[in-house]
Structure formats: structure tokens, C-alpha cells
Chain A
Amino acid sequence: GAVVSQHPSWVICKSGTSVKIECRSLDFQATTMFWYRQFPKQSLMLMATSNEGSKATYEQGVEKDKFLINHASLTLSTLTVTSAHPEDSSFYICSARDSRTPNSPLHFGNGTRLTVT
């Protein structure tokens, strides 16, 4: 079945540093990938839509200069949390679907637990 690989699974960084999270579709191509964030006991909240070869689309309230998204190929999207602060500590999850089947369900990575100290 379709697999989405997300790396790293957890990261601890100091305040002010930047962290890059990778999301790869392993056996399919994805022109669009989605980045979600989940705070404890809250729902998965869409942060942005990553578009291969063009700029990402950010949801209202998400700072595009803080959460840099790059979708350089049909199988890789990256999310960089720049100048991280403790309030950025959260669980970040990416998702993607096979571009050949646009109505198929999204497949999710295993998520990245970010802790900013």
C-alpha cells in the first residue's frame, strides 16, 4: 500500500534554532502534500498545502515566514520551522495522496514530535 515516510520522528532543539522535517511518498508521486499540526487533545489542524513546483498555500493564522515549505520533487516536501520557540512545540504530521488517484484517501506519515527548549 501507499506509504508516506516522515523524518525525524522526534527532535529536541533550542529556542532560536531551525528544524527541518522531511516528508516522502515512497511508492507514489504526489503533486500536493499537506502539513498538519496537533496540540495535545486537539484535532489535527491543517497548516499548509505544499504544491510541487510552486509556492505553498498557508492556512489563516499560519506564518509563512516561520514555517517554510519546499516541495522540490514529486516525492518530497520539507517543512522548516525557523527560529523555533517553545510555543512551536507540537506534533507535526504530513500527508499525501497519489496524484493519479485524486479522490483517494490521504496517507499520513508517522509524525514528528518537536520539543523546543
Chain B
Amino acid sequence: DQQVKQNSPSLSVQEGRISILNCDYTNSMFDYFLWYKKYPAEGPTFLISISSIKDKNEDGRFTVFLNKSAKHLSLHIVPSQPGDSAVYFCAAVITGANSKLTFGKGITLSVRP
């Protein structure tokens, strides 16, 4: 039972354009969402997060949007850069004493120079 879904396995965009990475979830108890970026042979690194009480969080070129009614979130990267090429994981958590992350399968983003 995939509670966090990233249905598109890959995305290719031109440098300078916007990258939009989508994520859907099924568990309405999730109240905190995170995006992690992963390069080959490295562990995931935290990118940006959003609490369920917000619908948008922005950090430089990265913006995450949350639509709770649709159980959908998206990560926008603008402008995209070749160094952004990596696998992006969406993760969700029910906050509490043992906050365990539930991950999606990841999206491979390729930014073409």
C-alpha cells in the first residue's frame, strides 16, 4: 500500500525553465511533508519542507505547494540548473514522538544545459 506516490519516474527540463515535481498521498493523517534530493552513491539530503497548516513554503529557487483537499503537493524549481539533476523523494510524516518518514519512489530530474 503506497501511501506516498510519485507517479512520474522521470522528468527532463531545459536549463533555466521551471521543474515541477508532483507527489500525492493517501493518508490524511500526514501533517508534515518533506522533499529530499539524492545524488548517486550518496544518502538523501533535506531540501525543503511544509507543514499541513500552510499551503506554500519558499526557499530560494525551491517552492513547495500543498493542496490538502487534493492530498497533493508539488516542488517547483525555478530556474532549473544542471546541478539540480538528481532523484527527488517526497516524504510524509505524522508528527509525534517517533516520527517515521514514508517515502515515495522518487523522481529522476534531468536538467539539460
Question: In the bound complex, do residue A43 and residue B106 qualify as a contact, i.e. CB atoms below 8 Å apart?
Answer: yes
B4 A43 Cβ-Cβ under 8 A: yes
Q: Are A57 and B98 in contact, with the CB atoms below 8 A?
A: yes
Interface of B is mostly: loop
Size category, B interface: 20 to 34
Query: Can you name the residue of chain B whose Cβ is closest to the Cβ of A110?
Result: B43
Question: How many angstroms between the C-alpha atoms of A46 and B103 in the bound complex?
Answer: 9
A75 contacts B by Cβ under 8 Å: no
The reply on B95 being an interface residue by CB < 8 A is yes
- The residue in chain A whose Cβ has the minimal distance to the Cβ of B3 is A43
CB contacts (< 8 Å) of A44 on chain B: these are 44, 89, 101, 103
User: Residues on B close to A: CB < 8 A?
Assistant: 2, 4, 9, 34, 36, 41-46, 49, 89, 95, 97-106
- Which 10 residue pairs of A and B lie closest in terms of their CB atoms, listed nearest first? A108-B43, A105-B46, A44-B103, A43-B103, A43-B105, A110-B43, A108-B44, A109-B43, A110-B42, A111-B43
Residues of A whose CB lies within 8 Å of any CB of B are 4, 6, 9, 32, 34, 36, 41-46, 49, 57, 93, 95, 102-103, 105-111
